[in-house]
Amino acid sequence: MKHLNSSWETRRYPRPKRSELARLARRAAELAGLPADFDWDLDIRFVGDRTMAQANAEFVGHEGTTDVITFSYFDDPGSLFPGEAAVELLICLDAARREGEKRADSSYSREVVLYIVHGLLHSAGEDDLSPAPRRRMRRREREVLAGLEPEFDFTALFPPPGFRR
């Protein structure tokens, strides 16, 4: 991954440090098995429920919000021009907050990182539409998160709402 382009499209959640976000995204892409033999860009939009619901309806054809939407253009890397994104992720921060509060083994911060990992794994060819591939996807998510945890403090990178630095 050459560049990370990110946009933070909600004011309800503290923004991460751009340099740490880029470092995490690079490492996650590497652990996910994305191509390292050419330069490619990653675009991440961090959005709220309203924007995610609109994107979900427009691009996926589903009603309501979701956690992450992935657009991957690795099918034909030769068609990518320098500076074009090979992967685009839409990450819903409201979904991360809800799931992080609901699950005893997670948090807002961990969910945001999980959604980045999940999107990158989709870009690397993983699928979760049927039981066997879904089990493999969950295993790969755990592996990549385990690889990231020693290097990154997820809570420091993605402080929960109301957190003061």
Q: Binding residue per annotation — 128?
A: yes
Contacting residues for 40 by C-beta, under 8 A, at least 6 apart = 1, 2, 34, 74, 77, 80, 85, 86, 87
Known binder of ligand: residue 3? no
Listed residue (108, 104, 119, 105) closest to 163, CA to CA: 108
**What is the SS3 assignment for 161?**
coil
Known binding residues = 118, 122, 128
Binding annotation for Zn(2+)? 118, 122, 128
